[in-house]
A and B are shown apart, each in its own frame.
Chain A
Amino acid sequence: MSVLGRVVRSGVGRRRVQTLVIGLTMTMAVTAAVLGGSLLVASSAPFDHAFAREHGAHLSVQFDARRATAARLSASADAPGVAEASGPFGTATVTPHTDIEGMGGGMDGGIDGVPMTVVGRAEPHTGVDLVALTEGRWAERPGEIVISDGSQPFPSLGRRLTFPALPGGPTLKVVGLARSASRTGDAWVVPAQIAALTPHGRGAGYEMLYRLTTADTAARVAAGRRAVTAVVPAGAVSGAQSWLTVKKAADRETALFVPFLLAFGVLGLVMSVLIVGNVVAGTVGAGLRRIGILKAIGFTPHQVVRAYVGQALVPAAIGTALGVVAGHLATVPVLSETANVYGTGGLAVAPWVDIAAVAGALGLVAVTAWAAAWRAGRLRTVDALAVGRTPSPGRGRRAGRVSALLPFPRPVGLGLARPFARPARSAAMGAAIVFGTVAVTFAVGLSSSLAEVMEARAHDAADVTVGVSGPRNSMAPGAKSQGAENQDGESPGAKTQGAKNPSAQAPGAAKETEADPAAITAAIDSQPGTGKYYGIATTQATVSGAAGVISVVAFTGDASWGGYDMVSGRWIEGPGEAVVPTPFLTATDTRVGDTVTLNDHGTAVTVRIVGEVLDTHHQGMEVFTDRVTLAAAEPDLQVESHHIAVKAGTDVAAYTDRLNTALRPLGVTAENGRVGNNSGTVAVLNSLTAVLTLMLVAVAGLGVLNGVVLDTRERVRDLGIHKALGMTPRQTVVMVVTSVVMTGLVGGAVGVPLGVALHGWIMPAMGHSAGLNLPESVIAVYRTPELVLLALGGLLIAVLGALPPAGWAARTRSAVALRTE
């Protein structure tokens, strides 16, 4: 082995603690970098990537099976502009009933789902639209069904779906959960199953999936649709969906979360760079005396640099390798959850993320070590020896004198003065704490904000909701519908949330039952404990200046308490007034105070916009108004649900039971209004937040750990003196931990406002990405006690980082310490 090699080996072996810290730091930093980089990659056009990966359908067309044969439809694959096609797949639209007990949603203990399009498809991974299985397996025989992840309430493997409205009431077992980027179906069965899911009197449908030679604009997709339509019998096309429509909906959904994950990714990368640089520079800097000795025995500055770069790279390489492994272990579940958020499947760590993380980390170590060693190598030998023996005694003396006067036990005073003796090191530790505190503050704020957004989206302030008509009213809270585009233009990606979320009903959904509204309100009025309530009716209209159909939600009674968060303006106070979401204002180029004219069933209805409300259903193309506003246009518009707030002190469950008893003869049910709101997404984001925050806090803690390790190693002689004078282990721990208390407090005090500022910048950006202005309730989520606790979080990071070296300092034997100069 060469002399240089021996020096490197002995340096690595002798300085085990610092070697360990470099290795550990690199492990954490590379883990954070792989995770952060993967999140950045996953957050970059998630739909486009999923669509490309799954060979998505540019155009999916539904056909009426009574008007076209499968053979004719197969021939449409040769239509002009069609590059590839799959199908025809048999389809059926059905409403399932799940076997969940005790959910309180159905009459018999189970719950009804939302209508869904079931596709008969034998093989998910061939042709166009490669459906990605997220759990379980594909349907292999009749009696099995694969559900689109998130399309039904409480989807899970093994659950049984029954279809009581169908002949023979077939039952299917859920054997898999899957995602289709093209969203070409809500569920899949084997082709032979479709016949059993086709109701009497209705013809079965077919679905064809096409990839077009050019499909980058709506006009080109429309041309493809025309070409397909031209080769099939007239009237055979019953519906069609452009991938651009799906993309728009998907992008709008994911846009809300992209800045959130981007922010964490960037924070992870920045912290990795900061901590690695800090650790390596500090470690090399701590070896000044050894460098002086090497120079004294004849090492050239170049050899010193090479020796120290090598000495840093050995543990760094091991740490990096471990970091890649740990990064994958940490990233896979996070990406899985990210895929849930983005509604895509199969996210994986991109190989170039690994390569970039490894190259970046080792490059950073090499450069930092080179710079620090170069500086040391250029020092005069005598200076290096002198500097390395003890820290400059001139620094921090004033702080030391002041600390001696403080009314604290002496170990506390000694610790408090310590940061002033090594200001640069303290600043580096402070920076790590600042980043850690920023991350925690940001995460806490985002979590609160997302909860607010979800609550605001759900409009579920009511204690009890009574569904009156239609399948929507018996649907469980939190359910999402991802069906194919229907005739009224509702996008497949739009979420519907049942009775608690009345505005979200799929337009055109059949209203299967009708109950007497007056009898229902009479039953509600007669119930003891009824506080206030309002009713909701929905309809559709067009609006001047905007293309397509919009959803109109009409209220009876005051709904201002119903969970409609105002962004600006005020809630409706009477007929002729309306509140609308931000996308509506954007699409119609209007603002609060303007008037718009709705065309409701041929009647022009003019409303004045009095407020901007947070709402994301129907892509924000909704109008909320009083039912009287629509009286002229739709005098028979029926209330579809009632939303009740009970009086204070009323037992909601007992109230609901009593009300259900009263309502049973009317064929409608009441359910608790606050069962949950999109809790799945919130849970995913909260768990993502927790994982990412923990990671960043750990990296920050390592930054502190390294600083304190260097400090205690450097001051081991002083420690020995203290102990020889009678400093107990506990006093030693107190002194070492106290040395980071001020840094922790200052880091926390600086980090919290920065975290709040970052949150204040990211949240509106998240909203704007989704085309929304967010109300103050979503952005101003921090409370003073919470901020104080978060600031103390900086102290906690500092103390946790300082405890291991403090323990080491406490255990060091005085005799050993005094010998270690």
Chain B
Amino acid sequence: MTTPLIELCEVSRKYDDGPPALHDTSLTVRAGEAVAILGPSGSGKSTLLNLIAGLDRPDTGTVTVDGVRVDGLGEAASARYRRDRIGMVFQFFNLLDDLTVADNVVLSAQLAGMPRGEARRRAAELLGTLGVDRHARAYPGRLSGGERQRVAVARALMNRPPLLLADEPTGALDSASGEEVGALLTDLNADGQTIVVVTHDPALARSCTSRTVRLVDGRITEDVRPEAVR
């Protein structure tokens, strides 16, 4: 059995006076797993993802990723943690409109201090692998949704992170593009990449993950292991 890559222990998070977004949630993800977090709008999916990514902090409980206690990190340490261990893919791509595709992809590597030549080579390799290398000098605004999400995935993989987090990666795509992205995530997981996907699309969960965690009102109501899914 592989060691846990993600460990959430009795994590709670509450915003202002509303009900808890997450309530005493515990979750363990092992390296190499592909996990889908499913649930309706407002169930706490994105909060869970943000906590794992170090974009947010729990009110109580602990979050440990790749041996790092994420919930105790300061802003700078949190940034370095994301840079080194996390790749993120967003629903609306979150590409920088005024940078070319290639510049978007190399950005995280450059922030980490990777030499420029090495970063360019790595970006070209990833863009080629993901089939968007012909757009390297284009601006994101000229690409289709599926292409933009491929670029976003390339950017997320730039620093070879042990964990790839995807927040509704197909939410802004048509069905064909969505299927492409799903296949891409499946391939990545097949190569050993640990993936956590937040989605409300059961089809995506089925196609590219081996485990499904269902959240309702901030609580895990279902955690379906591979055997049950398949």
Interface residues of A (CB under 8 A from B): 390, 393, 395-397, 400-401, 404, 409-411, 417, 421, 717-718, 720-731, 810-811, 813-815, 818
Contacts and interface: CB of A to CB of B under 8 A. Distances in A.
22 contacts: A393-B97, A393-B141, A396-B98, A397-B98, A400-B98, A400-B99, A401-B103, A411-B111, A718-B96, A721-B95, A722-B107, A722-B111, A724-B88, A724-B94, A725-B82, A726-B80, A726-B108, A728-B75, A728-B80, A729-B79, A811-B75, A815-B56
A721 B79 contact: no
A442 B110 CA distance: 43
Contacts of A395: 98
Contacts, number: 83
A721 B55 contact: no
Interface in B91-123: 94-100, 103, 107-108, 110-113
Nearest to B49: A815
A446 B103 CA distance: 49
B76 interface: yes
Contact of A731 (B56, B111, B139): B111
Nearest to B100: A401
A727 B139 contact: no
B139 A397 contact: yes
Given A725-B155, A730-B76, 19 more contacts: A393-B141, A395-B98, A400-B99, A400-B100, A400-B103, A401-B103, A404-B100, A410-B110, A421-B98, A721-B94, A724-B53, A725-B107, A725-B108, A725-B111, A728-B79, A731-B79, A814-B55, A815-B56, A818-B55
B189 interface: no
A810 B159 CA distance: 22
A730 B155 CA distance: 22
B50 interface: yes
Contacts of A815: 50, 55-56
Contacts of A396: 98
A818 B56 CA distance: 12
Nearest to B56: A815
Contacts of B113: 409
Nearest to A396: B98
A743 to B, nearest CB: 18
Interface centre among B79, B90, B99, B159, by most chain A C-beta atoms within 10 angstroms, is B79
A390 B97 contact: yes
Contact of A723 (B79, B103, B159): B79
Contacts of B211: none
Given A724-B53, A726-B82, A818 B90 contact: yes
A52 B110 CA distance: 72
A784 to B, nearest CB: 37
A724 B103 contact: no
Contact of B55 (A409, A728, A811, A813): A813
A409 B96 CA distance: 18
A396 B97 CA distance: 11
Nearest to A411: B111
B116 to A, nearest CB: 8
Main secondary structure of the interface of A (DSSP, over half): helix
Nearest to A404: B103
Nearest to B85: A726
B148 interface: no
Interface in B29-86: 50, 53, 55-56, 75-76, 79-80, 82-84
Nearest to A413: B110
Interface in B105-151: 107-108, 110-113, 139, 141
Given A718-B96, A813-B55, A813-B56, A725 B83 contact: yes
Nearest to B140: A393
Nearest to B81: A726
Given A725-B83, A728-B79, A818-B90, A393 B98 contact: yes
Q: Which 5 A-B pairs have the closest CB atoms?
A: A726-B83, A410-B110, A393-B97, A725-B108, A728-B79
B79 A727 contact: yes
Interface centre among A396, A397, A725, by most chain B C-beta atoms within 10 angstroms, is A725
Nearest to B53: A724
A421 B50 CA distance: 30
B227 to A, nearest CB: 34
Contacts of B141: 393
Nearest to B102: A404
B111 A726 contact: yes
Contacts of B55: 723-724, 813-815, 818
Interface in B159-173: 159
B166 to A, nearest CB: 13
Contact of B76 (A393, A401, A729): A729
Interface in B167-214: none
Contacts of B90: 724, 818
A731 B108 CA distance: 12
Given A396-B98, A721-B96, A815-B56, A728 B108 contact: no
A280 B64 CA distance: 47
A724 B100 contact: no
B156 to A, nearest CB: 9
B89 to A, nearest CB: 10
A411 B110 CA distance: 9
B76 A728 contact: yes
A818 B139 contact: no
A722 B99 CA distance: 12
A400 B140 CA distance: 14
Contact of A810 (B75, B84, B98, B112): B75
A299 to B, nearest CB: 28
Interface centre among B76, B95, B100, B159, by most chain A C-beta atoms within 10 angstroms, is B76
Contacts of B111: 410-411, 722, 725-728, 731
Contacts of A417: 98
Contacts of A818: 55, 90, 94
A253 B53 CA distance: 72
Nearest to B155: A725
A390 B76 CA distance: 27
B131 to A, nearest CB: 22
A723 B56 CA distance: 12
A429 B110 CA distance: 29
A721 B105 CA distance: 12
Contacts of A393: 97-98, 139, 141
Contacts of A409: 110, 113
Nearest to A821: B92
Nearest to B51: A815
Contacts of B76: 728-730
B87 to A, nearest CB: 9
A726 B155 CA distance: 12
Contacts of B98: 393, 395-397, 400, 417, 421
